[in-house]
Amino acid sequence: MKLPKVPLERYFPEYSGGADINKAAKYILWRFMQTNRARLSVYPHLTQATDTTNICLVFATVKETILQNALKDSGIL
C-alpha cells in the first residue's frame, strides 16, 4: 500500500507526519527501535524494493555484517 492512499494514522493513530514519506520512514524506524529491548545491533536501510542496485548493496552489507559477527563470535577476530 502506498502512503498517500492508506494513511499511516490508520494503523498508528499517534503518528502525525501526514503523507510525508521521510517522516513516515523515521516514525516506523523509531517504533521498530523501541521494540529492541535486548539492545541488539540494528542497521536500518531505507530503500525501494524496485531499486535493484540499492537492494544489492543492502544484501552485501547484511552478508558482511553476518560474516563479521560470526568471526567475532568464533574468536577469530
Write the pLDDT tens digit of every residue in 7-62.
Answer: 999 999 999 999 898 899 999 999 988 998 888 888 887 877 788 888 898 899 99
Q: Which are the contacts of 19, defined by CB distance < 8 A and separation ≥ 6?
A: 3, 4, 7
Q: Are residues 32 and 54 in the same domain?
A: no
Give pLDDT, residue 49.
76
pLDDT band at 3 (very low <50, low <70, confident <90, very high): low
Kindly state whether residues 37 and 50 are assigned to the same domain: no
Burial label, 8 (beta-carbon count in 10 A; 0-12, 13-18, 19+): buried
Is residue 21 within 8 A of residue 3, CB to CB? The reply is yes
Residues making up the binding site for GTP: 49
Residues 55 and 37 in one domain: no
Q: What is the span of the domain harbouring residue 10?
A: 1-42
Which residue numbers belong to the known binding site? Answer: 49
Pairwise pLDDT comparison (68 vs 4), residue with the higher score: 68
